[in-house]
Amino acid sequence: MRDLGVFGAAILLASVGLLGALLSAKLSSRFSIPAPAVFLIVAALASDLFPSLNVSILTVERIATVALVVILFDGGASIGLQRFRAAAGPIAALGIVGTFVTAGAMAVFAHWTLGVDWTIAALLGAAVAPTDPAVMFSVFGGHEVSGRTGTILEGESGANDPVGIALVIGIVELATHADATPWIVVREFSIQMAVGLAVGALGGVGMGMLLKRLTLPSSGLYTLRTLAGAGIVYGVATVAHGSGFLAVFIAGLAVGDLRVPFRAEIEIFQDALSSLAEIVVFVALGLTIAISDIGATHWGQGLLLAAVLALVVRPVVAGLLLLPAQLRHGERAFIAWGGLKGAVPILLASFAVQQHVHDAHLVYELVFIVVLASVVVQGGTMRPAARRFGVHFEPTPASSVGVTSPM
């Protein structure tokens, strides 16, 4: 009975925390502060006040991985192939070339300004380079965005995370193997991308056939079918040494436009699951660090990195890469400001900590500060920025959801 009471108390605490997160999300929408920022700040403050809540980085790494599988698949499905094709050029430019250039520029700046060695500088640069899908889909969810700007930012956030992850894995391999050469970074990246793309494409085709042809006894099981498919695609790609995150994003794109049984119910379920994953991952990330333990020097360094990234590197890189795209100047400026950081950069930093890379905890703290600054400042000003740059960015009118009968 004692164990049952302890378990009940744990459920009570988790449920109260979830309800608090939902209420804070409501407040964040009213005050134009992204919900992930609230979750991250509150959890970090809670870990300060109650050290027993602190969560290990390994546990958070696993939580973040599962959450991102859900978020990336849902994000890919919400975009769909039709929207993706219309903005494929800018997405590829920002998601692939932009990630490499941003990582390189930030690595050089970190090495020269902070005085860290090249390995730590490269890890910092690669970790803060990707735009985060959890924050982007949170900010853009339920909003109508004019032109291709929303699609470009959402597509970039799904495409560049696998690039950043493969890059960090290669750098960690280089840092932890004395006989490794820079070629290992190129090799790791190539394998991750090629295998992830292939498994994602094949998995998307297979899921499409499954969604159309497999009949189940109840509508609730149809919603679980997509979750199982996403997990299988991620698992196959990862076991084959590819990028599981790229694979689930590609698979999501492939099935996003399909007419399938109970499509409305599936979309509602995926949206709810993605929202839950967003809450869990940012709360867990916040619990890995105590704000009071971060020294003033590190706060200054992290904020400097965040400022240079948001005000110099991102605008220059995005501005140059988007020159061939048929976009207005205001749209380019909005995309440049919209490179929000979130769960993925912290997850990337955790890879270095788990592999015991020298000064990895410094990387983790600095990346946390960069993410915190990005979600609060950039995320909180997306709506004013849209008005300033002439981009339509307004909440989508509530609409009723119909029920799609089986085909």
The C-alpha angle with vertex 61 and arms to 55 and 66, in degrees rounded to 5, equals 115
Q: How far apart are CA 194 and CA 397, in angstroms?
A: 40
Q: Which helix (H) or strand (E) holds 393?
A: strand 393-395
Amino acid 406: pLDDT:
37
Residues in the chain: 407
Residue 316 CB contacts under 8 Å (≥ 6 apart), including other chains: none
Q: How far apart are CA 296 and CA 288, in angstroms?
A: 19
Amino acid 360: pLDDT:
81
Give 102-137 pLDDT, tens digit per residue: 999 999 999 999 888 888 898 899 889 888 777 777
Nearest C-alpha neighbor of 310 from the set 245, 380, 391, 394: 380
Residue 401: burial class (beta carbons within 10 Å; 0-12, 13-18, 19+): exposed
Amino acid 407: pLDDT:
40
Give 248-267 pLDDT, tens digit per residue: 989 988 888 777 666 666 67
Give 271-291 pLDDT, tens digit per residue: 777 777 777 777 777 777 777
Alpha carbon of 133 to those of 17, 56, 65, 82, 223: distances in Å? 23, 23, 13, 19, 22
Amino acid 11: pLDDT:
65
Max Cα distance, the chain (Å):
67
Q: Which helix (H) or strand (E) holds 152?
A: helix 149-176
Residue 100 scores a pLDDT above 80: yes
Q: How far apart are CA 37 and CA 33, in angstroms?
A: 7
- Dihedral of alpha carbons 216, 217, 218, 221, sign: negative
Residue 19 scores a pLDDT above 70: no
pTM: 0.80
The residue among 47 and 81 whose pLDDT is bigger is 81
Q: How far apart are CA 382 and CA 367, in angstroms?
A: 21
Give 304-359 pLDDT, tens digit per residue: 999 999 999 999 999 899 888 888 888 889 889 888 888 788 888 888 888 778 87
Q: How far apart are CA 263 and CA 207, in angstroms?
A: 14
Percent of the chain residues past pLDDT 70, beyond the cut = 79
Q: Which tokens hold the place of 274?
A: 């993605």
When pLDDT is cut at 50, 70 and 90, the band that residue 366 belongs to is: very high
Q: How far apart are CA 19 and CA 254, in angstroms?
A: 34
When pLDDT is cut at 50, 70 and 90, the band that residue 32 belongs to is: low
Contact 96, 320 (CB under 8 A): no
Poorest-pLDDT segment among 23-32, 147-156, 169-178, 348-357: 23-32
Residue 10 CB contacts under 8 Å (≥ 6 apart), including other chains: none
Residue 14 scores a pLDDT above 60: no
User: Per-residue pLDDT averaged across 180-189, rounded?
Assistant: 73
- Domains of the chain with bracketed CATH: 30-393 (1.20.1530.20)
Alpha carbon of 208 to those of 242, 255, 287: distances in Å? 21, 6, 38
Q: Which helix (H) or strand (E) holds 143?
A: strand 143-145
